[in-house]
A and B are shown apart, each in its own frame.
Chain A
Amino acid sequence: MTDGESPRGPRSDHGFAHASEAEFARILDFYQVEWEYEAQVFPILWDLDGNVLESFAPDFFLPELELFVELTTLQQRLVRKKNRKVRRLRELYPGLRIKLFYARDFRALMLKYGRAALVSELSGTLGQVMTHEEADEPSAPAGPEHESDGNGHLVIDRSDAGSGASGESSPGPSRRSRAARRRAGHRSNTGSAPVSPVTLCKRKR
């Protein structure tokens, strides 16, 4: 969502890939911590020609804290792939601080805030959000299984959506283009609009 585009309605309709991400954003908003959603894409695998085969876009970047946060509330099989990506990210970008929030962490957070009853609907596959386009498409593999098409093209999971196709050869992390971020449903609270518990906010301080 770009500044000035403030559609009202459930946050999950506004570009978060998962309901847990929307809830996490609400928590950050509540405590007035600035965040950006899928703000940076980090290439983590290249072919011999330097083309990016795989990249990773952590869910949140908290600029004041210089911390990336990746939420993974999915089943263990998918978490392993996420763990591998985060490990690779840490190897390639050792100065980068990233925290992986597992399902148990998210559950504990909800418990702490008295929202344990919502855990089941905010986590796992129940919490996944499909766009209308995705819903109309034939069943594509979900999430992290989207990693390679075998042709040297960057094929990405939902959190990497919009990071570009093949041939992204920059060795460093890339800021997404505005259009790409819009396609990916980029969210940030670093703008200027006030926060509400329903609509995504831009900035509070």
Chain B
Amino acid sequence: MKVSQDLVLDVSEVLLTEEQIGAKVVELGQQISTDYAGRQLTLVSVLKGSLPFMADLMRSISLPLRIDLMEVSSYGGTTTESSGLVRILKDLSAPIEGRDVLLVEDIIDTGLTLNYLLRYLKGKNPRSIKVCALLDKPARRLVEIPLDYVGFQIPDAFVVGYGLDFGEVYRNLRFVGVLRPEAYES
């Protein structure tokens, strides 16, 4: 993996600018504020990719809310080789029973991780559970799960930035861009 010192050089195309993302997050926040008025909302963010989205989204919601963080192992990751099964690396820090949970995700592509997480979280008896994803890449979908709030539907390309990584790099880009093939083919 060859990473340029200036990360922007590894991006072939800016798919979503910082401004576009910001405007969409505000829009989502307003919609969620309306929909969850008077309810006990908990935002659950899935580390690490959704961290910037979570940070911006929670500040765009005007309601009182709780936040919580989860992390699950990813296929192919070094922490998972021993079992061959997805694992919860960081669980919720507070119960969600009886609360209205909104799962905040950076991107949904195959839906496999989301499918696992929803099954797991439903087992904790929340009052409701919905999904808010910044990016939806339907071309790769295996598990069809209704997404309640979607920022953008994106084409079938490998994207980085605004939390999305390749090899743990590029998360700090302020926009979402398409990674140059040279960056991952090397």
Contacts and interface: CB of A to CB of B under 8 A. Distances in A.
Contacts of B139: 105
Given A26-B84, A195-B85, A113 B142 contact: no
A116 B184 contact: yes
Nearest to B82: A197
A111 interface: yes
User: Secondary structure of the B side of the interface?
Assistant: loop
B18 to A, nearest CB: 24
A29 B110 contact: no
Interface string B66-88: 00000000111100111111100
Contacts of A27: 75, 112
Given A29-B85, A33-B115, A108-B156, A113 B143 contact: no
B75 A197 contact: no
Interface in B141-186: 142-144, 156, 158, 166-167, 184-185
Interface string A66-89: 010100000000000000000000
A144 to B, nearest CB: 23
Contact of B112 (A31, A99, A116): A31
Interface string A4-48: 000000000000000000000011111111000000000000000
B144 A114 contact: no
Interface residues of B, number: 28
A69 B140 CA distance: 12
B184 A112 contact: no
Contacts of B27: none
B57 to A, nearest CB: 23
Contacts of A32: 85-86, 116
Contacts of A67: 142
A65 interface: yes
Contact of B86 (A31, A65, A198, A201): A31
For chain A, the bracket of interface size reads 20 to 34
A154 to B, nearest CB: 30
A31 B113 contact: yes
A173 B156 CA distance: 32
Given A108-B156, A113-B74, A30 B140 contact: no
Interface-centre pick from B84, B139, B166 (highest chain A CB count, 10 A): B84
A115 interface: yes
B142 A115 contact: no
A142 to B, nearest CB: 27
17 contacts: A26-B75, A28-B112, A29-B85, A30-B86, A31-B75, A32-B85, A33-B142, A62-B142, A69-B142, A108-B140, A108-B156, A111-B166, A113-B76, A114-B74, A114-B77, A116-B184, A201-B84
Q: Which 4 A-B pairs have the closest CB atoms?
A: A197-B84, A113-B76, A31-B112, A30-B75
